[in-house]
């Protein structure tokens, strides 16, 4: 899209910094009672009354976290918000506000930034969060997005990485590995496109996994679901780096071990078939793929009846004494130590 | 410093993302009762009880906002925090927490990032704020810092850009133009250094203004001072883009005009002498220089006795009807319209 020289382009320089902020944010409306003052002053004002404030922040950098050759800007804006909201949901909290700061090089016309904000607006609407502030500046190269997500929770409901104990059940929402396999498909199509720019990729068979990669959805629903079920998670984290890495975070913070059962790991049929096509082990993909933005949490054994059979939840293992370590129990009933193979942005490739 | 190839350097890749965050933040302690949980989970937890939450965020980009050829990294870390805290103080609020996210290219060794965090730590200590979160990632080029500052205030004390009315007095803290003249000195020394790398600059006569540029201090003290004086500002903003631009923000938001008196603008003697040396008009520097991080606010006429003669405060003008516009009244008693010549990061130079 950015390469289309024929479309009308408005330079950012013409608008200036204040003009750009006004232009991009004028359509955003405030939905939360807790938002006393949003964009337009030196700072935003929030009021969480007797609830606690939950806050998380993330940076997304072009060439490190995303590749604009196959990520549409609208999807990118949506995803930038969603990955931050996921951190709030991972505290078993409700997301209420975000700030979005962007740095853009002058290779981006206003219309491109509008696309990005259309995605941000869509996420704000879908997840019911208010855009309350941010910063807009130029960059010497590429696009950069910094999002801070703010939420609220009753203190008794907050779930930390620390808190689970041996014999607690390990539960995951949704299914895993889709985002990683979607990325494999997109990377392959990019290579095909390089060789033959006229090729028309048929992504239809991969629509679920491509969507998992390009337009992930954070689990806004789980906090409410658990309240309805009367379940307080003993620990919780979101799956951004892969199941294995997140389990190890829970184990380390809670000083416990874990047995994860391979046969219990929820996989969508599309993921399984894509794994076959790419000749990749689907368990490996679930363990190390990352970017699924599902929630991983633990519950007391006594809550088993409340969660079993729920279509949103899969019980995939249980916690053990720390001395037992963290293992995958394979279908062949062998025990393999879990290792963190999550994503490290400093690793050279 | 970054060019010194002889010193021991630790690559960021070796530490990885989690290792780096742990390493950089392990010395930070939490000082505020409102910080229930800082770094180490998916999100931080804060508790402002019956106070309102105030929140602001900024991006600082290498090559756009700072030049590492003359800005030491420790100063940069300090300044990155200070400019954000200034936005909280500009709401007449107390800053309590910050998050800091950085993106660094692998041209930076660990030791450089440690320097940056030493400056961040110094600012946290001096301004009594807790570092509660952030993100650390690689960048394809240069250094980028994103800071979110969080604060608290009683609702009745919060001062917005909107709220002042005709006849209110316009007040500024400290003195103006120093940061801009400090930048002129540093830019000149950079050019001298390019021609003769062995030259030893004597910055001693310029120490005040160079410090105003490299190590600005936000006005943490003003909110408390005004409370002691029993003064509630009717509007407030911090001076990041220059006096002129900030006055116009107050006028626009409050729908008023303003008369600013040239002779009342507070200038340090070092600024005046540097302006003479560089042949720049000192009033112009105060109006458009920016980066002074002083506070500009308005008070009701009845508060005149409470603030007059206070060494921290200068009454520099008064607000008028919107129809009168915003003007500088020169020493020669001519009226010149104020124009926003604040800094626009999208402007090509």
Asked if A151 and A185 sit in the same domain, the reply is: no
Asked if B112 and B255 sit in the same domain, the reply is: no
Provide the token pair at B291.
């980066």
A19 at B interface, C-beta within 8 A: no
Asked if B101 and B39 sit in the same domain, the reply is: yes
Please compute the mean of the pLDDT values over residues A79-88 and round it to a whole number: 96
Q: What is the pLDDT of residue A3?
A: 42
pLDDT tens string B279-323: 999 999 999 999 999 999 999 999 999 999 999 999 999 999 999
Selected for mutation to probe chain A from B39, B42, B142, B233 (highest A CB count within 10 Å) is B42
Asked if B148 and B252 sit in the same domain, the reply is: no
**Quick check: is A327 in a domain?**
yes
Question: How far is it, in rounded angstroms, from Cα B158 to Cα A41?
Answer: 11
**Quick check: is A347 in a domain?**
no
Show residues of chain A in contact with B53, CB under 8 Å.
45-48, 53
Asked if B111 and B185 sit in the same domain, the reply is: no
Q: What is the pLDDT of residue A141?
A: 78
Asked if B178 and B277 sit in the same domain, the reply is: yes
Q: Compute chain B's Rg from CA coordinates.
A: 21
pLDDT grade for B24, boundaries at 50, 70 and 90 = confident
In 3-state terms, what secondary structure has residue B18?
helix
Question: How far is it, in rounded angstroms, from Cα A131 to Cα A115?
Answer: 16
Lowest mean pLDDT among A9-18, A75-84, A278-287, B114-123: A9-18
Residue B222 and residue B81 in contact, taking contact as beta carbons nearer than 8 Å: no
Residue finishing a domain among B157, B183, B205: B157
**Quick check: is A284 in a domain?**
yes
pLDDT for B226 beyond 50: yes
- Per the listing, tokens 């530490």 go with B15
Residue B297 and residue B171 in contact, taking contact as beta carbons nearer than 8 Å: yes
B31: domain CATH number is 3.30.1330.10
A331 at B interface, C-beta within 8 A: no
Distance (Å) of CA B182 to CA A121, B59, B192, B208 = 41, 22, 15, 8
Provide the token pair at B61.
């980009």
Asked if A280 and A190 sit in the same domain, the reply is: yes
In percent, the amount of chain B with pLDDT more than 90 equals 73
pLDDT tens string A238-293: 999 999 999 999 999 999 999 999 999 999 999 999 999 999 999 999 999 989 99
A349 at B interface, C-beta within 8 A: no
Asked if B175 and B116 sit in the same domain, the reply is: no
Residue B145 and residue B60 in contact, taking contact as beta carbons nearer than 8 Å: yes
In 3-state terms, what secondary structure has residue B172?
strand
Residues B36, A16: C-beta atoms closer than 8 Å: no
Residues B45, A20: C-beta atoms closer than 8 Å: no
Q: What is the pLDDT of residue A274?
A: 97
Residue finishing a domain among A157, A181, A216: A157
Residue of B nearest to A52 (CA): B47
Question: How far is it, in rounded angstroms, from Cα B94 to Cα B152?
Answer: 5
Show residues of chain A in contact with B161, CB under 8 Å.
40-42
**Quick check: is B7 in a domain?**
no
pLDDT for B218 beyond 70: yes
Please compute the mean of the pLDDT values over residues A21-42 and round it to a whole number: 86
Question: How far is it, in rounded angstroms, from Cα B286 to Cα B265?
Answer: 8
Q: What is the DSSP letter of A40?
A: S
Q: What is the pLDDT of residue A348?
A: 40
Residues A141, B144: C-beta atoms closer than 8 Å: no
Widest distance between CA atoms in chain A: 65
Question: How far is it, in rounded angstroms, from Cα B108 to Cα B3?
Answer: 10
**Quick check: is A164 in a domain?**
no
pLDDT tens string B145-157: 999 999 999 999 9
Provide the token pair at A26.
């004028």
pLDDT tens string A95-153: 999 999 999 988 888 899 999 999 999 999 999 999 999 988 888 878 999 999 999 99
Provide the token pair at B18.
């989690």
CA distance B312 to chain A (A): 21
By residue range, what is the domain housing residue A113? 12-157
Please compute the mean of the pLDDT values over residues A27-40 and round it to a whole number: 87
Q: Mean pLDDT in chain B?
A: 91
Asked if B254 and B141 sit in the same domain, the reply is: no
Provide the token pair at A65.
């976290």
In percent, the amount of chain B with pLDDT more than 70 equals 93
The count of structural domains within chain A is 2
CA distance B204 to chain A (A): 33
Asked if A115 and A215 sit in the same domain, the reply is: no
Lowest mean pLDDT among A121-125, A204-208, B22-26: B22-26
Per DSSP, what are the bridge partners of residue A335?
A329
Q: What is the pLDDT of residue A318?
A: 98
Q: Mean pLDDT in chain A?
A: 91
Residue finishing a domain among A132, A157, A182: A157
pLDDT grade for B263, boundaries at 50, 70 and 90 = very high
Provide the token pair at A289.
């793929």
Q: Complex ipTM above 0.95?
A: no
pLDDT for B17 beyond 70: no
B174: domain CATH number is 3.90.650.10
Asked if B72 and B103 sit in the same domain, the reply is: yes
- Helix B207-214 × helix B269-278 angle, to 10°: 100
Show residues of chain A in contact with B150, CB under 8 Å.
55
Q: What is the pLDDT of residue B215?
A: 93
Which residues 141-180 in chain B show a CB within 8 A of chain A? 141-142, 144, 146, 148-151, 153, 155, 158, 160-162
pLDDT for B343 beyond 70: no
In 3-state terms, what secondary structure has residue B177?
coil
Lowest mean pLDDT among A169-173, A196-200, B154-158, B272-276: A196-200
CA angle B152, A77, A292 (to 5 degrees): 95
Residues A345, B17: C-beta atoms closer than 8 Å: yes
pLDDT grade for A195, boundaries at 50, 70 and 90 = confident
Asked if B77 and B175 sit in the same domain, the reply is: no
pLDDT grade for A345, boundaries at 50, 70 and 90 = low
- Per the listing, tokens 């704000």 go with A124
**Quick check: is A280 in a domain?**
yes
Distance (Å) of CA A234 to CA A98, A116, A177, B265, B347 = 27, 37, 25, 59, 52
**Quick check: is A163 in a domain?**
no
Q: What is the pLDDT of residue A18?
A: 66
**Quick check: is B86 in a domain?**
yes
Of A277, A155, A100, A259, the closest CA to residue A205 belongs to: A277
């Amino acid at each position: 899209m950015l390469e289309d020289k024929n479309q009308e382009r408005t330079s950012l320089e013409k608008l200036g910094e204040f003009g750009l902020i006004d232009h991009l944010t004028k359509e955003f409306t405030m939905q939360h009672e807790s938002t006393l003052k949003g964009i337009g002053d030196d700072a935003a004002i929030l009021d969480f009354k007797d609830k606690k404030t939950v806050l998380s922040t993330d940076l997304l950098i072009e060439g490190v976290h995303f590749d604009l050759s196959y990520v549409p800007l609208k999807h990118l804006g949506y995803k930038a918000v969603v990955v931050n909201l996921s951190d709030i949901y991972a505290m078993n909290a409700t997301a209420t506000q975000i700030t979005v700061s962007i740095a853009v090089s002058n290779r981006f016309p206003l219309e491109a930034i509008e696309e990005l904000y259309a995605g941000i607006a869509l996420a704000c609407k879908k997840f019911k969060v208010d855009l309350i502030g941010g910063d807009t500046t130029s960059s010497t190269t590429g696009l950069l997005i910094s999002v801070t997500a703010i939420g609220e929770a009753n203190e008794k409901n907050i779930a930390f990485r620390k808190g689970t104990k041996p014999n607690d059940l390990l539960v995951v929402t949704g299914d895993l590995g889709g985002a990683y396999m979607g990325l494999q498909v997109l990377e392959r199509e990019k290579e095909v496109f390089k060789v033959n720019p006229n090729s028309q990729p048929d992504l239809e068979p991969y629509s679920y996994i491509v969507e998992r990669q390009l337009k992930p959805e954070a689990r806004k629903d789980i906090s409410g679901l658990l309240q309805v079920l009367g379940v307080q998670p003993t620990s919780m984290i979101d799956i951004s780096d892969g199941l294995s890495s997140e389990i190890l975070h829970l184990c380390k913070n809670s000083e416990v071990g874990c047995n994860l059962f391979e046969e219990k790991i929820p996989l969508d049929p599309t993921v399984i078939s894509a794994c076959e096509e790419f000749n990749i082990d689907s368990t490996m993909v679930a363990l190390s793929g990352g970017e699924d933005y599902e929630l991983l949490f633990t519950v007391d054994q006594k809550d088993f009846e409340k969660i079993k059979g729920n279509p949103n939840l899969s019980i995939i293992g249980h916690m053990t004494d720390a001395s037992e370590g963290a293992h995958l129990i394979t279908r062949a009933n062998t025990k393999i130590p879990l290792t963190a193979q999550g994503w490290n942005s400093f690793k050279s490739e």
